[in-house]
Structures are given as C-alpha cells and as structure tokens.
Amino acid sequence: MKHKITTILIAFTIITTGVAAPADVYAAEDSATPMDIAAGENPITIAAFEDLGVIQNQTIHIDDYQSAILLPSKIAAYDSDGAAVGIADVNWQIDKPFDSSVVGSYVFTAVLPEEYVCTGTPPTINVKVTKKNTTVYDLQKTMSRTAGSKIADSIFVSNPNGRTIALQCYNSTTKSWTTKWSTEMSTERVASVSMLYPSSWYSTSLSQWRVRIAEDQQDFGYTSPVISVQANRVYQNPLGYYQLLEKVTLSTNAGYDLIYGTMGLKVAMVQRKLGMGMIREIVGPQTQDKVRSFQKSKGLPVTGVVNYTTWKKIGFSDYDWYYKAAYVSPLKVNLTSTKAQCIEAFIANAYRYVGTEYIIGAAGAPKTGVDCSGLVMQSMYATGLNPYPISIIRHSMPGYEYESRNFWASPSLKSVAYSDRKRGDLIFYQNAYGTIIHVAIYLGNNKVIESTPPSVRVSDVINPSYTRIKGVKRVFN
C-alpha cells in the first residue's frame, strides 16, 4: 500500500511543482550533524520534527502550473534521545484527490520510510488553491480637465482572462454605480486597456468613477478606489466678480408672514383676493385694515398680519405660501458655455419675462410678477450667478424695495464707462437727487430690457420714464 501511495505522490509532485528536486528548495541545515541510518538496523524512534517554516502553508493559483508545491524529500527530526536526525526519502500523502482547477484546501502529511517509527505527530503541509488576483496598474485616481475635452486613461490589467472591464459613474441621487463604458479584454497575461470616459463626465464639476472587473471561475474580481474627476469651466468670471455656479439655491423659502412693509407677489395676491384691486403691492395701513376685517369675519386673531393660518383661510395653497415667491429660473448654461453664451443666456432669460406684470418687490416666474431688480436677479440665476445676500426673498422684505441700489454698491459688479457699455451690462438710473431708482439690462444698439410699470418690455436706453443714467456695471468680464 505504501508503494502505491508513493508512486502517486511522485507523479503529482512532478506535474504541479515544476521543480526537479523539491528537497533542494527546502534544506534544513543545523549545527548538529544528523545521524545516517543504515539499512537493516532497528527502527529509529522519532519523537519530534523541526518546524517546516514558510513552506508549511502554501498557496497556488488555479491552473497556474508555474506555482510550485514544495514537498521536501528530506526533513529534520529528533529521536527519543534528543539527537538530530536527517530523514531522507520522505513521501507525502494527500487528504483527498487534488484538482488544480477548483478552489480548495489540501493537507499533505509526511510518510516516513519504514526504518522510522513516529511517536509524535508527523509534519503536514497545507496547500490552498485559490483564484488569481486581478491587478490594475497606472490608473489615474484624480484628474482635472476642461469641460468638453476627452479623457482616455491607459491602464494595464493582470490576468484579464477575456473578461469585461467596466467604467462606472456614481449617481448621488440613487446612490448607485452605473456602467458608462465597457470593453472585453484580451486573454494575454497582461492586457493593455485604453478607457474612454463618456462625454457625461463633465455633466457636473466633480464626478466620481470606478473601474470594475467581475470575478470568474479562475480570477478574483477587481474594484478600484474612487476616481475623482474635476471638470473645469470653459469660462468663469474673474475673481472679484460673481462666480458661475452649477446650481443656485436659496437660503430660505417664501414661507414668511406678511407684516407691515412686506412687498411682492404674496402681498399682491392678498390685496386682490380681498378686493383691493391692483394697487401698490406693499403692506400698509389700508392693506392691514382689510386683513383685520377678514380675520374678524373668520374668527381669527385680529392682528393685521397675514400668517399661515390667515393665508389658508383666504383660500391660498401651501405651495403659494412656501414656493410661489421663491421661484428660481432654471439654469441655461453649463460647464462648456463660453462668455458669449453666458451673456446670451442672461439676456434670453430676461426676454422670457416680456409682458410680465410689474409688481414692486416681486421676482416670480414669468407671467406672475417681477420688478426691475427681480428681473436682474432671475436672469443672473439662469446663468448660475448668485448675488447673495441680494436675493428674491430679501427683496420682498420691508426696507429692501430698492435692491437696485445694493446691486450698484456691490463690489462684485465692476463699473465701466457709459461709452464702453456692452451687451449684458447693467444700466443704472437715478433721480434728480442722484439716488438709484432703477436698473435695466443693456441689449446693445442703445436698447435695454427692463421691468417698469405696467410690464417688462424692451425700451430705448434713455426713455421718457428714465432719463438720468447713474452708470454702468459689468456682470460678465
């Protein structure tokens, strides 16, 4: 029986190790000289074995015949007297049939020649058959490019094995990864891959990507660290100007009470609902008297202030309370927009308001109501400019009727000579005392688009309503 096992083990060693003499790989050298055991002598009792060291636990990869299993034919031991013994012609018995094409673990146990008797536990070698690791080299983890340009990253992949490599983008809304590009790799030991990022890489200024290779029967999968890609705008205002943003977000909604001095859309809605007609849209004594009468008729606290409860009793919706006066024009530019395109988007948004009613303190959606400052703010929003603390919400608060004066004072809008006025600039007008009273958007050819009673319209830069120009401010430079 031992002879049969020996024959199998020798054949196995030759096939899997790829080495001619495993014993040469593992040689225990001691200061003590092992005994030489002559044939025919009494069996030698082996009480202990020297540790096999690093070869006691070995790992090879599936079907990788270049990975050798090291099974030494000579091991070091100690007899019952503690003397060192070198045992030659050691064979190794496996615990189950070996299959290098399947992941698994195997235990090889030393089988000593017949002239030895083992009283202890014979040495064992643990062999693990595992999948090959997949490694990606030269992957760029951070990139910064101008929006509109192409990104192709050349990488190398070990053990591609004909698998598919995918480039995935993270969706922060769904909190998931979506494959945007993929290709099948070669079956060579190392594959060269040129990953082409899709044009969607610059849909946002900062995106997150990863490389994904699925696991198969022979190879482990691979998921790269997060790749951060920065898309730089084709055009950005210089420092000192209002900067173009990807999104304009208001710091608050329009869920405010209508107190004395409040202006804008919500005030106009209340005044007209209470039968006051189209009057100056500011809460004053007349408006508060109407509100008090209504509150008294409905059994509400008589305060003259339109709070949420009074608002609902008048018949308005939650949407009207919180959001109607907090409308933000949709963005009309992107990261690839040029300066000229930003200026045209700024003006095009103003044209959306032509015919919209002039309502003091308002900056609503087209066809709802807007004044001169509100028109400028909404057109800035459409190009990604946020002039905060100037805002459409603050504009409706008491004391902020003339946001045009705050625009004039803003250091983020640069003064230019009237003779140097260009399309997209802001034209400011003053009264006889030099105080700012109006702002309009310059169109070129001595024309402006402005919100002035009764509605938004295109006018001459100097017209009967506004004859005194204070100066010119540049939005885009």
Residue 190's nearest CA partner among 215, 227, 226, 165 is: 165
Give the per-residue pLDDT at 456: 98
Question: Span 324-348, mean pLDDT?
Answer: 97
> Does the pLDDT of residue 6 top 60, yes or no?
no
Which residues are registered as beta bridge partners of 169? 178, 209
- Angle among Cα 346, 145, 204 to the nearest 5 degrees reads 50
> Measured on CA atoms in the order 245, 247, 250, 254, is the torsion positive or negative?
positive
Q: Which segment of 32-36, 155-159, 221-225, 314-318 scores lowest on mean pLDDT?
A: 32-36
Give the per-residue pLDDT at 303: 97
Domains and CATH numbers, the chain: 2-130 (no CATH), 136-232 (2.60.40.10), 265-322 (1.10.101), 326-474 (3.90.1720.10)
**pTM for the whole thing?**
0.76
Give the per-residue pLDDT at 64: 75
Question: Span 288-309, mean pLDDT?
Answer: 98
pLDDT-derived band at 2 (thresholds 50, 70, 90) equals very low
Give the per-residue pLDDT at 101: 87
Question: Span 142-149, mean pLDDT?
Answer: 96
In whole angstroms, give the CA distance from residue 457 to residue 25. 92
pLDDT-derived band at 67 (thresholds 50, 70, 90) equals confident
> Does the pLDDT of residue 307 top 70, yes or no?
yes
Question: Span 330-351, mean pLDDT?
Answer: 97
Q: Are 470 and 431 in contact (CB under 8 A)?
A: no
Average pLDDT, the chain: 91
In whole angstroms, give the CA distance from residue 204 to residue 170. 12
List, for residues 47-56, the tens digit of each pLDDT value: 999 999 999 9
Residue 197's nearest CA partner among 165, 150, 157, 163 is: 150
Question: Span 307-317, mean pLDDT?
Answer: 97
> Does the pLDDT of residue 302 top 70, yes or no?
yes
Give the per-residue pLDDT at 202: 95
In whole angstroms, give the CA distance from residue 307 to residue 262. 12
List, for residues 206-253, the tens digit of each pLDDT value: 999 999 999 998 999 999 999 999 999 999 999 999 999 999 999 888
In whole angstroms, give the CA distance from residue 275 to residue 272. 5
* Other beta carbons less than 10 A from residue 398's beta carbon: 13
Looking at the chain, the whole-number percentage of residues with pLDDT higher than 70 is 91
